[in-house]
Amino acid sequence: MKDSPERSSGKSYSLLIIAISLAIFMSSIDGTIVNIALPTISESFDISSSTVSWVATAYLLVMAGCVLIFGKISDIIGFKKIFLTGFIVFTVGSFACGFLPDLLDSFGSLVGSRIFQAVGGAMITAIAPAMVTAFIPMSMKGKAMGIIMTVAALGMAIGPTVGGILTQYLSWHWIFFINVPIGIIAVLLGAKVIPSTVTGKDRDLSGFDKKGGLLIFFGLASLLFAISEGQELGWTSPAIIATMIIAVVSLAGFVWNELKVTEPLLELRLFRKKNFFLSNLLFVLLFLSFSGINYLLPFYLEYVQGFDSSTAGLILTSLSFAMMISGLLAGALFNRTGGRPLCIAAGFVILLGYYFITHLHADTTTAFVVGCLMLIGFGLGLMVTPISNMIMNSVGKQYQGMVSSLTSLERFAPLTIGIAIFNLIFLQGVSLIAEHRGVTTEAPVNMKLEVLSSGFDLAFLGAFILSIAVLILSLIVKQEIHPDYLEEGPETEIIGGMI
C-alpha cells in the first residue's frame, strides 16, 4: 500500500478498518476479561483481594500516564510505527503475563508484565481514532467509526464470558495467551495496510516535550491511584493524601509547562474554542454517567434481585449488544444526517434509559431491567460514534494523534473516577436511610434489601442528573470540520478560523 491513502482501493480501506478494529477490540476485551479471573489468580498465589487488584490497577495507572505521551509521539513519527510497536509490546507483554508468573513463581512478575503490556496498550489505544481521521475518506468515516464502535461493544460483551470459560476450563493464564494470535495478525496486517505518512511538523523526537510527559504521567497516575484506592486505604490515609498532593502539583505544573513550550504534549489552546471544549465535556460526562451503571448494576442484580453472577453477567450483556446495533446504525447515518442530530437523538434515549433505571426496586421484573439497559446501550452507541468523529474532525491534521489520545483518556479515566464517586453516593444513600449505625461497614450482601435499594436509588439518580447535562450539551454542540479536510468532501459545513 502506498503512503497516500487517497490512492488506496476499497479493499485496502476495509483491511485498514479491520486493523484499527483489532486494536479497539484488544483494548476493550482486556478491560473486562481480566477482572473475572482475579479471584482465581488470588487463590493461585494465595494473596488477598486487595493485593491481586494490582493486576488491574497497575495496568490502568500506566495506561493513564502514557496515553497522551504516545498520542503526541505519533503526530511526530507517524501512526504506523506506534501501532506496530504497540502491538508487538502488547503481545509480548501478554505472553509474559501468562508465562513468567509460573516460571518464576512470582506474583510480582505478573504485575511487572502487566506494566509492560500496558505500555503497548497505551500506544494502540491512543491512536486508533486518529487513524480513522487520517487515513479513511470523509465519505467512509462515519461507517468506519460505526464498525469500530461495534467491535468495541463486542469486546465488552464477550470479555467476561470468554474470561470465565478460559479460566474455568483451561487456566487463568489463557486470558493473556489469547491476545498473542490476535496481536500477531494485527502486526502482519498493519505492516501491510497502514500508510507511513507523518501528520506532524517534526519528523524526529528532538523537540519532544519530555518535561510535560513526566508531569502528565505522574499527575494522572497519582490522581487515578488516589481515587481508585481511596475507599480501600481511607481518604485521609498518608498514602492517599501524598498521592493527591503529587497529582495536584504535577497537573498544575503540566498546565503551566504546556502553555510555555512551543511543541506541547497537549495543545491546551484548543480548549479556547467553545465547541471543542463542550464536545469533550460531553464525552467525559457521557462515560462518567455510564460508570455508575457499569459498576453498581452487578451488585443490584446479585444482592437485590438475587441472581447468580453468571446470570447477572448475561443480563448486563444486553447493554453491549444494544451498543453494537446502534453503533452500526450511527455509522450508516453519520454521513447522511451529520453528527449533531444523532447526538441529540442519543441524548434523549440515554435520558429515558436513566430515568427508567431510577425506578428499579427489589420487585422489578427482569424484562424491565433489560429494557433499561438496552435503552442506555442504544443511546451510548448512537452517541459515541458521532461525537468521536466530531471531536476528531474539528482539529487540524497535525493534532490527530494528540486529540485521539485525549478522547481515549476521556473514555477510561471517567469510568475509573466514576466508580469512586458513585460508590460514595451509594454509601451515602444507605447511611441516610438506614435507621441503625454501622450499616455502611457491612458487605453489600449482608444489608437489608430496603437499605440497599435506597443506596442504589440515590446513585442512579446521580447518573440521571448527569444524563440531563449530556442532553443539554448535545443540543448545544455543533458539527465543525477543520479546513484541513476540505478536499475530502463537501458533506459538512467547513468552519474557518480554527486552530
pLDDT digits (tens, 9 = 90+) for 359-398: 888 788 889 999 999 999 999 989 988 888 888 888 877 7
343 and 478 both lie in a single domain: yes
pLDDT computed for residue 352 by the predictor: 95
Amino acid letter at 225? F
Range with top average pLDDT, 30-44, 187-201, 373-387: 373-387
pLDDT computed for residue 472 by the predictor: 94
| Among candidate residues 189, 208, 227, the one where a domain is terminated | 208
185 and 322 both lie in a single domain: no
Is the residue at 260 inside a domain? Answer: no
Is the residue at 224 inside a domain? Answer: no
444 and 371 both lie in a single domain: yes
| Among candidate residues 208, 228, 258, the one where a domain is terminated | 208
| Average pLDDT score, the chain | 80
128 and 32 both lie in a single domain: yes
- The 10s digit of each residue's pLDDT in 124-171 is 888 877 787 777 777 777 777 778 777 877 777 777 778 778 887 888
Is the residue at 101 inside a domain? Answer: yes
pLDDT computed for residue 487 by the predictor: 55
Is the residue at 238 inside a domain? Answer: no
Give the distance, in angstroms, between the CA of residue 386 and the centroid of all CA atoms in the same chain.
16
- The 10s digit of each residue's pLDDT in 284-327 is 999 899 887 877 887 788 777 877 766 777 788 888 888 888 88
pLDDT computed for residue 117 by the predictor: 92
346 and 482 both lie in a single domain: yes
285 and 374 both lie in a single domain: yes
- The 10s digit of each residue's pLDDT in 203-228 is 566 667 788 888 888 888 888 888 87
Q: How confident is the model at residue 252 (pLDDT cuts 50, 70, 90)?
A: very high
Give, as one character, the DSSP assignment of residue 105: T
Cell numbers placing 81? 510505527
- CB neighbours of 363 closer than 8 A, spacing ≥ 6? none
pTM of the full predicted structure?
Answer: 0.79
Is the residue at 183 inside a domain? Answer: yes
Q: Is the pLDDT of residue 245 over 90?
A: yes
56 and 146 both lie in a single domain: yes
Give the Cα separation of 225 and 231 in Å (integer): 11
Sequence-separated contacts (24+) of 460-464 with Cβ below 8 Å? 460/292, 460/293, 460/296, 460/354, 460/357, 460/358, 460/360, 461/358, 462/292, 462/421, 462/422, 462/425, 463/289, 463/290, 463/292, 463/293, 463/354, 463/357, 463/422, 464/351, 464/354, 464/355, 464/357, 464/358
421 and 278 both lie in a single domain: yes
Apex 66 CA angle, 74 and 284, nearest 5: 95
| Among candidate residues 163, 179, 208, the one where a domain is terminated | 208
pLDDT computed for residue 334 by the predictor: 81
341 and 473 both lie in a single domain: yes
Q: How confident is the model at residue 404 (pLDDT cuts 50, 70, 90)?
A: confident
Q: How confident is the model at residue 486 (pLDDT cuts 50, 70, 90)?
A: low
Is the residue at 179 inside a domain? Answer: yes
pLDDT computed for residue 11 by the predictor: 65
- Give the total number of structural domains in the chain: 2
Give the Cα separation of 495 and 443 in Å (integer): 54
What percent of the chain is predicted at pLDDT more than 90? 18
- CB neighbours of 396 closer than 8 A, spacing ≥ 6? 482, 484, 498, 499
**Nearest Cα residue to 115 out of 227, 2, 221:** 221
Is the residue at 237 inside a domain? Answer: no
204 and 287 both lie in a single domain: no
Residue pair 108/190 in contact (Cβ under 8 Å)? The answer is no
Amino acid letter at 24? I
Domain range spanning residue 281? Answer: 270-499
Question: How far is the CA of 390 from the CAs of 9, 17, 178, 182, 481, in angstroms?
Answer: 25, 19, 34, 30, 8
Q: Would you list the DSSP string of 401-456? A: HHHHHHHHHHHHHHHHHHHHHHHHHHHHHHHHH-SSTTGGGS-GGGS-HHHHHHHH
pLDDT computed for residue 204 by the predictor: 63
- Which CATH number do you get for residue 465? 1.20.1250.20
Amino acid letter at 143? K
Backbone torsions φ then ψ of 481, nearest 5 degrees: -115, 125
Is the residue at 228 inside a domain? Answer: no
129 and 44 both lie in a single domain: yes
- CB neighbours of 303 closer than 8 A, spacing ≥ 6? 444, 445, 447, 452
55 and 171 both lie in a single domain: yes
Cell numbers placing 230? 481511596
Residue pair 381/324 in contact (Cβ under 8 Å)? The answer is yes
Give the Cα separation of 110 and 116 in Å (integer): 10
Q: Is the pLDDT of residue 260 over 70?
A: yes
